[in-house]
């Protein structure tokens, strides 16, 4: 009787709680205020679950009501979650400072807008926040996955049509319909209006000049030729944001903290065969002194040849809480529904 094939050992990334806590203690000493860390890998994003996790950290802070610093490193996600995060943090901190040593893109830029001041390092950048959506009726790409459609892309096609299609009697919007469903076009228009509204609302938490908030929201939503255009410190000053350079010592410690998180968030993929693999990557980390939460992907992926796409199976992804109890590191699953 042939032996059963052994399942490969699942690769798991390290949890470096002790290392990150030492760096957070040093950062708080440099800053003179409590620090919250918000970090995500390329597979993590700003989402609604983050609000619940941040609430757990904020409501159990040893000394609430102090000014708070927020380290942000993320490629973006949900703008609506960014608004809720801003609203939550403002309940616990009379003044909020955003610390940006590296990437702070899209919805993460919205989070930074909610701070009274933004401190940026030499490698730091914000981005435009114009919205793109992946609708159920979006076109499919070469891998048979739904593609994101942005209002800027649609408007640029229409402008090019108007510039180079003179004499044509065909409506450019009508010409797009066979490729982009009309409901998708409507949804993109609605999402873009939502993005501008979210920026205005987030800025209103610390500015009374609503005309300035309106102008900044419009610039971030419509003034850049690319969603990931890097807005550096100098550009952020021109926009009118309250930005300044990070102190070199703080910037260096934040880069060290990012290195610790990057080691935790390294790729953790176990291949079974050419059509099956397991992903065990840590996608998001939110931490303060004494407590860390991280979101770990834990799912199998199977390639369906007939559909030409990957499908997730056995998804047990979850949040984990790590704390010190009686001097010992204790981990437990944190359930969010």
Q: Is 260 inside any structural domain?
A: yes
Q: What is the pLDDT of residue 273?
A: 87
Same domain, 29 and 75: yes
**Beta pairing, strands 117-120 & 243-245:** parallel
Q: Do residues 79 and 59 share a domain?
A: yes
Q: 């991280």: which residue's tokens?
A: 294
Instruction: State the SS3 of 303-323.
Output: EECCCCEEEEECCCCEEEEEE
Q: Is 247 helix (H, G, I), strand (E, B) or coil?
A: coil
Tens-digit pLDDT string for the chain (337 aa)? 455 455 677 888 899 999 999 999 999 999 999 999 999 998 888 999 999 999 999 998 877 778 999 999 999 888 889 999 999 999 999 999 999 999 999 899 999 999 999 999 999 999 988 665 555 556 666 666 666 656 566 656 666 666 665 656 666 666 666 666 566 666 555 555 677 888 889 999 898 888 899 899 888 887 877 778 899 999 999 999 999 999 999 999 999 999 999 999 998 888 888 888 888 999 999 999 999 999 999 998 888 888 778 888 888 999 999 998 777 889 999 998 7
In 3D, which of 15, 202, 238, 2 has the Cα closest to residue 109?
202
Where b means 16+ CB within 10 Å and e means fewer, 168-198 reads eeeeeeeebeeebbeebbebbeebbeebbeb
**Is 199 a member of any domain?**
no
For residues 47 and 120, membership in a common domain is answered with: yes
pTM above 0.75, yes or no: yes
CATH classification at residue 240? 3.90.226
pLDDT value, residue 251: 97
The distance of Cα 244 from the centroid of its chain, to the nearest Å, equals: 22
Report d(CA 86, CA 79) in Å as an integer: 11
Predicted confidence at residue 15, as pLDDT, reads: 92
Q: What is the reported pLDDT for 181?
A: 58
- Based on the fold, state whether residues 25 and 158 are members of the same structural domain: no
Query: Is 2 domain-assigned?
Result: no
Q: Are residues 183 and 312 in the same domain?
A: no
- Pick the last residue of a domain from 167, 189, 211: 189
3-class DSSP state of 293: strand
Residue 137 belongs to domain spanning:
132-189
pLDDT at position 224, please?
A: 79
Domain identity same for 22 and 102: yes
Q: Where a domain ends, among 189, 209, 236?
A: 189
**Judgement on whether residues 307 and 271 belong to the same structural domain of the protein:** yes
Quote the CA–CA distance of 333 and 27 in Å, as a whole number. Answer: 28
Residue 172 lies in a domain: yes
Q: Is residue 242 part of a domain?
A: yes
Residue 290 sits in the same domain as residue 172:
no
Say if 217 falls within a structural domain.
Answer: no
Residue 144 and residue 101 share a domain: no
**Would the CA dihedral through 79, 83, 86, 88 be positive or negative?**
negative
Count up the domains in the chain and report the number: 2
- Model pLDDT for residues 33-84, shown as the tens digit of each residue: 999 999 999 888 899 999 999 999 999 887 777 899 999 999 988 888 999 9
Three-class SS state of 74: strand
Query: Residue 210: its pLDDT value, please?
Result: 87
Decide if 255 is inside a domain: yes
User: What pLDDT is attached to residue 68?
Assistant: 95
Do 64 and 140 share a structural domain? no
Tell me, what's the pLDDT at 1?
45
* Cβ atoms 106, 127 nearer than 8 A: yes
With respect to residue 215, please indicate whether it lies within any of the assigned structural domains: no
d(C-alpha 147, C-alpha 143), whole Å: 10
CA distance 85 to 12: 30
Asked if residue 119 and residue 247 are part of one domain, the reply reads yes
> Do 231 and 299 fall into the same domain?
yes
**305 alpha-carbon distance from chain centroid:** 31
Find the DSSP H helices in the chain: 17-31, 48-59, 79-92, 107-113, 151-164, 172-176, 182-203, 210-222, 233-239, 248-264
| Cα angle, residue 20 at apex, residues 15 and 22 outer, rounded to 5° | 135
CA–centroid distance for 13 within its chain:
21
């Amino acid at each position: 009787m042939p032996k059963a094939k052994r399942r490969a050992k699942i690769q798991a990334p390290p949890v470096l709680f002790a290392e990150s806590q030492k760096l957070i203690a040093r950062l708080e000493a440099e800053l003179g205020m409590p620090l919250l860390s918000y970090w995500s890998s390329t597979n993590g994003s700003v989402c609604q679950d983050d609000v619940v996790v941040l609430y757990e950290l904020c409501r159990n802070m040893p000394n609430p009501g102090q000014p708070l610093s927020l380290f942000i490193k993320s490629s973006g996600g949900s703008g609506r979650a960014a608004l809720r995060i801003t609203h939550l943090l403002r309940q616990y901190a009379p003044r909020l400072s955003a610390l940006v040593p590296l990437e702070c893109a899209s919805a993460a830029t919205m989070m930074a807008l909610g701070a009274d001041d933004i401190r940026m390092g030499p490698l730091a950048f914000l981005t435009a926040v114009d919205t793109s959506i992946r609708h159920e009726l979006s076109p499919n790409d070469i891998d048979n996955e739904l593609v994101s459609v942005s209002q800027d892309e649609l408007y640029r096609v229409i402008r090019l049509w108007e510039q180079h299609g003179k004499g044509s009697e065909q409506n450019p919007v009508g010409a797009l319909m066979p490729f982009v469903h009309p409901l998708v076009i409507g949804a993109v228009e609605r999402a873009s209006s939502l993005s501008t509204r979210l920026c205005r609302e987030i800025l209103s938490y610390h500015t009374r000049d609503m005309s300035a908030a309106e102008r900044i929201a419009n610039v971030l939503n419509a003034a850049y030729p690319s969603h990931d255009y890097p807005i550096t410190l100098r550009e952020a000053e021109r926009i009118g944001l309250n930005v300044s350079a990070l102190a070199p010592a703080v910037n260096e410690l934040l880069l060290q903290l990012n290195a610790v998180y990057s080691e935790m968030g390294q790729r953790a993929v176990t291949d079974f065969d050419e059509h099956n693999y397991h992903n065990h990557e840590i996608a998001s980390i939110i931490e303060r002194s004494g407590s860390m939460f991280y979101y770990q992907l834990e799912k199998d992926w199977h390639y369906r040849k007939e559909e030409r796409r990957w499908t997730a199976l056995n998804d047990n992804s979850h949040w984990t809480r790590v704390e010190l109890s009686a001097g010992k590191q204790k981990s437990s699953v944190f359930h969010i529904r």
